[in-house]
Amino acid sequence: MDASTAPAQTSRVHTWLGEQRPWRQRALAVIAGAVATLGFAPFQLTLLYVAAIVALVWLLDVAAARPKRLGAAFATGFYFGLGQFVTGLYWVSSAFMVDSAAWGPLWGVPAALALGAGMALFWGAGALLAMLLWAPGVRRIAAFAIAMFAAEWLRGHIFGGFPWNLPGYVWTPGEPISQLASVIGIYGLSLLTLLVAATPAAVADGGARAGARFAPTLIAALAIGLAWGWGMQRVAGAPIELPGAQVIVRVADSGLSQADKWTARPDQEWRVLERYLEASGAPEDSRAQVVIWPEGAIPVVNFFTLEDQDFLDAIGRGLGDRVLITGLSRRELRPEGVAHFNSAAVIDGVSGVPRLSQIYDKHRLVPFGEFIPLWDIVGGLNIAPLQRIGAGFEAGPPPTRMVVPGGPPAIVLICYEAIFPGLTPRGQDRPGWIVSVTNDAWFGAGTGPWQHYAMARYRAIEEGLPLARAAAGGISAIVDSYGREISATQGRVDYAEAQLPPALSETIFTQHGNLFLALMLVIALALRFVLPK
């Protein structure tokens, strides 16, 4: 190996990996990436994620010895990413099965592979950058963490961003390590995770003294132990539920699959409404003052919900004096045509009379799922988004807090908006809780709904705000400001109900944003460029 980039001396593991043919090394990278997926929900096997990252570092050590090391590094990172993202995002194909006549497996499987390959390009680019920074010993660990963090940051921001399964999500939300997100956010936790997970690779630095090989891992373990202790202390004195006048919230699901909800029948909206009213409970029997229905709760088969007064009156009778927050599709008639929106509405029931008070139009739309990028160019190809509404939905302004009669003001995040940190207003505009409405029936019955739920819980930790989540076909739940689950629909198909947990004061993350993340990057750079060779 090149002395400027390789570990102190070739070890047995490096020798064995170096003896493998390139295709076998790439296969090992794919397998390691697939193993890394087990670190995320619903498995949360963090140690397997660590093992996968260590394997990736060793494979990059081998790539560093090749004449064309930059190309070898890119291929290694790409194939690792391919294994991780195809196994982590396979459920995307389920969305195409809903309308199998129009899409089906001939589109679903290639779409999942294409998405996985697209995300893997970021890991390939990260590995290439890491190779440019590669150095002997523990310094390469810092180089790896910096480069892969940069790749994950870009993945979460470029072209609108898709920050799904960031490294920091391998820590179970609500447990002690996850509490660090209240200080450094999910990106800071991801940088820390990459650094800690890569550190054990130094154990195989053949020729180095035992202290040099094992000390980095011991230091990383100590850091995780201190973080665990701090997190335990943070949540130890936090009650699950406080007595008092906090509003009682019920999140409800119809229990219908995506295909069942969209059956083309003249009474389909009414049939689905009946299921939601049953899950919401009769006004005289329910303790809840606020009821939440998921994204697009009522299908648009025959009419739009807000345009049918008889339908709204039926909702009002079902509400009584309760408040409903529901996801829905709506349209606006404009001179240039019809604009469609994926929206959420607050409907205040007053003695059985509905009163539409506020509407939020989704700000971050899913490319190809809710709109077609560059529609003016590709429109002639007859490609339709999955929701089958013309060119798709239009985006609304960023989320702002909404008044909820009888409860604290809320912010509504629709579907995958909940995977983006920082959308919640700060300062005087800070809400008292987060409402997440989503249609996870698109994801099928696999790991997708669990991953989405785990990521949404991190928004509660970052913001110090309770979360009420209504997910069609997924996990509906009420979560406290520490990301701990209070009540959920696991094992129950229709609703979860609990007193809304109290909000915390602004967290360090909400007060200072990415300041501590920047400090962590400075420390990581110092580890790479200041540590002696």
Q: Is residue 5 part of a domain?
A: no
CA distance 57 to 194: 11
DSSP state of 500: P
- Tell me, yes or no, whether 203 and 270 share the same domain: no
Q: Is residue 6 part of a domain?
A: no
The torsion angles phi and psi of 435, rounded to 5 degrees, stand at: -110, 125
* Residues linked to residue 412 through DSSP beta bridges, in sequence order: 435
- Tell me, yes or no, whether 344 and 463 share the same domain: yes
What pLDDT is stored for residue 269 in this prediction? 97
The torsion angles phi and psi of 468, rounded to 5 degrees, stand at: -115, 120
Which residue type occupies 460?
A: A
- Tell me, yes or no, whether 146 and 277 share the same domain: no
CA distance 118 to 85: 9
Q: Is residue 508 part of a domain?
A: no
Residue span of the structural domain in which 344 resides: 248-501
Helix, strand, coil shares of the chain, percent, nearest 5, are 50, 15, 35
Q: Tell me the two tokens of residue 29.
A: 């990278």
Q: Tell me the two tokens of residue 415.
A: 């579907």
pTM: 0.93
**Among candidate residues 440, 525, 435, the one with its CA nearest the CA of residue 144:** 525
What pLDDT is stored for residue 246 in this prediction? 84
Residue with tokens 């599709």: 329
CA distance 242 to 502: 7
Which CA distances in Å does 121 have to 118, 148, 368, 436, 451? 5, 12, 19, 30, 21
Catalytic residues: 295, 362, 415
C-beta separation of 146 from 192 below 8 A: no
What pLDDT is stored for residue 531 in this prediction? 78
- Tell me, yes or no, whether 280 and 206 share the same domain: no
Q: Is residue 32 part of a domain?
A: yes
CA distance 247 to 123: 45
Q: Is 431 helix (H, G, I), strand (E, B) or coil?
A: coil
Q: What angle do CA 298, 303, 309 make, to 5 degrees?
A: 90
- Tell me, yes or no, whether 288 and 190 share the same domain: no
- Tell me, yes or no, whether 469 and 523 share the same domain: no
**CB-based contacts of 428: which residues, under 8 Å, 6+ apart?**
none
- Tell me, yes or no, whether 134 and 279 share the same domain: no
- Tell me, yes or no, whether 487 and 358 share the same domain: yes
> Per-residue confidence of the chain (533 residues) as pLDDT tens digits?
444 555 445 688 999 999 999 999 999 999 999 999 999 999 999 999 999 999 999 999 999 999 999 999 999 999 999 999 999 999 988 776 665 544 445 677 888 899 999 999 999 999 999 999 999 889 999 999 999 999 999 999 998 899 999 999 999 999 999 999 999 999 999 999 999 999 999 998 877 777 778 999 999 999 999 999 999 999 997 765 555 568 999 999 999 888 889 899 999 999 999 999 999 999 988 899 999 999 999 999 999 999 999 999 999 999 999 999 999 999 999 888 899 999 999 999 888 999 999 999 999 988 766 766 555 544 554 555 545 455 578 999 999 999 999 999 999 999 999 999 999 999 999 999 999 999 998 888 899 999 999 999 999 999 999 999 999 999 999 999 999 999 999 766 689 999 999 999 999 999 999 999 999 999 999 999 987 76
- Tell me, yes or no, whether 479 and 519 share the same domain: no
CA distance 64 to 168: 27
Q: Is residue 265 part of a domain?
A: yes
Which CATH number does the domain housing residue 376 bear?
3.60.110.10
- Tell me, yes or no, whether 417 and 334 share the same domain: yes
- Tell me, yes or no, whether 20 and 148 share the same domain: yes
What pLDDT is stored for residue 94 in this prediction? 79
Q: Is residue 369 part of a domain?
A: yes
Rg (the chain; Cα; Å): 25
Q: Tally the domains of the chain.
A: 2
Q: Is residue 184 part of a domain?
A: yes
Q: Is residue 507 part of a domain?
A: no
C-beta separation of 126 from 151 below 8 A: yes
What pLDDT is stored for residue 209 in this prediction? 79
